[in-house]
Structure 1
Amino acid sequence: MNGPQAPLLELRNLVVRYGSITALHGINLKVQAGELVTLLGANGAGKSTTLRAISGLIHPVGGEILWHGGLINRLRTERTVKLGISHCPEGRRVLSRQSVADNLALGAWLRRNKVAIASDLERCYALFPRLAERRSQLAGSLSGGEQQMLAISRSLMARPTLLMLDEPSLGLAPRLVAEVMAALSQLHRDGLTILLVEQNAQAALTIADRGLVLEAGSISAGGSAEQLLADNSLQASYLGAN
């Protein structure tokens, strides 16, 4: 008889330091295949650090990062991308002097199957039709919302098993926040596993399965999205009004 399936991603007692400053104090986290889990909390809580550790941009000093049950603590970012982990960082970071199409091609730089790459490109254009209309336009000339759509799409071009996003709604008008969240919800319905870092608690929990609240490098609360949305005291204390 088969035992319970290992989580797609698991953090066990993860500790990360920047010099003498401890950014993560032994956090534990599990993400099952197909879930959309959101990490919530104030600036400096450790949300971005968590994603950076998973993607290999920084290495923990303690604990374990497990992918399909295997340890990946010391892997470089190129290797984590090959494993199926795609990280869309805060701040969009598009190549402003390159076209939309060139930015998307960069997202597939580790892939060789041209047919599959072309298919995923059309999928991105279907998800964000504005990018299809502007495929020859320089990325730097796009609006902030369009650049965020491009950053997400570029991450999708790696064909990830896990998509990690850091503050995708930051600086966007409410209408564009809704558009980006609708796209993430569609990706989730299509079966993509998503780990979403967000300060906009209302928007994130509306599309998530579960949420975890980070406070000063530790997980202070967690539960289903419905539970967290209904917890007024928790929203007031940790998540803020959105």
Structure 2
Amino acid sequence: MEARPGNASRHKTRERIVEVAAQLLRTQGPHAVTTRAVAQAAEMQAPTIYRFFEDKDALLDAVAEHIFAAYVAGKTLVEDSGDPVADLRAGWDMHIDFGLTNPAVFGLLTAPGRGARSPAAAAGLEVLRARVHRVAAAGRLRVTERRAIELIHAAGTGTVLALLSVPPQDRDLGLADAMYEAMMRSILTDAPTLPADSPTAVAVAFRAVAPKLPMLTSAERALLAEWLDRACDNPTRPGTSGRPD
């Protein structure tokens, strides 16, 4: 169904407002995104903006969503290399680069309560989940997928915020590499594991593929998933087999 001319015109006007506000945000920061400044840069009357956004916060939300959605779309289009661990590292590097290149947007998305309602942020987490899932299926995770996702997300956000708190000329960009390596040591095995090496890693890998096993009924898959979740959440101590002596 084609959009009516009036709707197309409204959409175009809204896009123009968001693009102009995004430019102001990138070059001058959130304080510069005022109704008067945006209206002047977009060559329109200030009341026009209020027909699309109730206040400055609503406009900033739309701008952050616009910029971050383009970034997430780019992440989604990146082809898998065939090495899930290398793809995870590439995603980490993209995340750090985005945060340092777009400090104002990153600040908006990580503000308490604001990023939680962002569809683009949710889509970005889905990309991370998919990458972690491939690592799990390859037998390389020593923790559950959920724990790995939470650790990577928290470490990535914290690393960017820590670097942004330092003047650009004083930033130690090696911090991002050091944080990634430390985190990977806590969630990855050195190589695809055998049952005797790490029962937890095997359980995590099996859990990743269990929903796709065609020979099981839905009830059987659900029961298997429950057992594996229990095994993943209650790992044996390193160096033990999980069997009684």
TM value normalised by structure 2: 0.25
More strand by share: 1
Higher relative contact order (Cα pairs below 8 Å, separated by 6+ residues): 1
More helix by share: 2
TM value normalised by structure 1: 0.25
